[in-house]
Structure 1
Amino acid sequence: MKLQFILLFLGASTLTFAQKTITMKVKENTVPCVGVAPMDCMQVKEGNAKQWSNFYSTIEGFNYQPGYEYKLKVVKTKREGNIPADASAYTYRLKKLVSKKQVKTIDASYLNKKMVLSQMNGKNSSNGKIYLTIDNTKNSIYGKSGCNRFNAGYQLNGNQIQINLLMGTLMACDPESMQLEQEFKTTIEKKNFEIHAEKNTVHFKDPKTKKVILTFAIPTENELWTFIDGKKWKLIQMDHVGKDYGKASLQFDIKNKKVSGNSGCNNFFGSYTATADQITFSPLAGTKMACIDKDAASTETKMRNHLSEATLRFDVAEQTLNFYKDDKLVMMFGIQ
């Protein structure tokens, strides 16, 4: 009888240590995020956390409605056994809805989208040389400042944004691009703005005077793919090495969701799926000629490996088509 009591006590203790009740705040809006696939995430503060973080799981029994900030009591339980790679290490179950407060929401649909500068300091800028993305999954702003690529940290509170020091590459370009870059950096670096989004237009305003300082346009998916479609894109840079990569190239058929090209030696073809800025290639088929040229063989191996990645982010900048893995530029193609 005593042994049974000890075993029962140990079992109850194990269960107690495996789960606990926590306080969780849930923000009034979701944000785009990437888990196993692109999705929308709730933003939460667990316990005494000061910063909002993306929540990639679900809360059993909780019916989330945008526009309300919630305070919850949640039972957090650690999963046992082999946990699938696409699953959270914990499950969450609503214990009590403590409060539900309606909040005036601010349009944050511009987050995680490429924004191309269209106006700066009252002057039009439609050459596409300056663009950026405010990535709230990495708390980073990155893009191109006219000549060089850049990134910076930021703090976002509602529609108020503070931009930190810009860090980036140090290439020299033509005088016009360098002058444009210097004006942009002076305008945005270590500055505060109010952000106002209207459909596919985003304004950065002076918080005091409410004057529009910067205006960005968000290219629609149709506009982006219409530009990419049918053109032959020649590989000009891979893994930060820019050079002539011979026959290596890509071409898209957006109507049939097909891709074809040459990876250095062999022709290839296949299909793809894409969202606004994410692309996934199917397993590619093609010719199987032996590559006698060592450089061409190396190009083919690297290019096929990149195209075989689960998901790549892409954008179009001026006359280049760029592919990124974990925010690192891995391939750049130019119009042939």
Structure 2
Amino acid sequence: MFLELALTLATTLMTPVKPVQKQQSPKKQTIYVKESKEPCTGVAPMECLQIKGVKDTEWSNLYTNIEGFKYTPGYRYKLLVRVTPVKNPPADGSSIRYTLRKVLEKKKVNTTPEAGSPWAFIASKRWNLIKLGDSTLTQSGIWVEFDPVAKRFHGKGGCNRISGGYQTNGENITFTMAISTRMACMDENVMRRETEFLKRIGEHTYRYDVADQTLNFYENNQLVMIFGMQPKDLK
């Protein structure tokens, strides 16, 4: 019996004791939130807030929300947030939790086009696709509307809802990361046309102009897409 107690005691003393891991405490941080979201891909295509630290020069995607923060497009924010590490986050979750402590600054960013400018006119209309490549379309069901404040577009690809970002530079427009819902359509021709259209507006730059009642896009001096003007309040 004494031998067994001695062996047990020796084994206990020889077993290394695991140090208690100190849990990281939340930290406070000041960040900026951009006036517009950008397309991004997490588990699925989505739109992400754009954030950066006080000393950062580049914006980065935030794949989660800031708890307690209500975002309004068109405003740039300076926020004081609490940053908390998330222990054992899920595979599709963030390892950091952001919680709003205080809105330090909320500033309106004036990106509205001047009255009478081409983009003031483009933004006031819905544009229905009537030509794609060499094909002339009737009742394509494909349309887009532009928001020059947020630099975003949205619309329908014929079967699915679509959206994305864009930037303009002189006579050029660059589309960025178009995303869509994933509803299957029974008509194969509609799906094929939608797929082609999404490729056309994904990470692509075109020269554009407005002629009479059409919005036209050119690539290598070739007319590749024509949109017809429609009222914007269509359902």
TM-score, normalised relative to structure 1:
0.35
Q: Which has the larger radius of gyration?
A: 2
TM-score, normalised relative to structure 2:
0.49
Structure with bigger RCO (C-alpha 8 Å, 6+ apart): 2
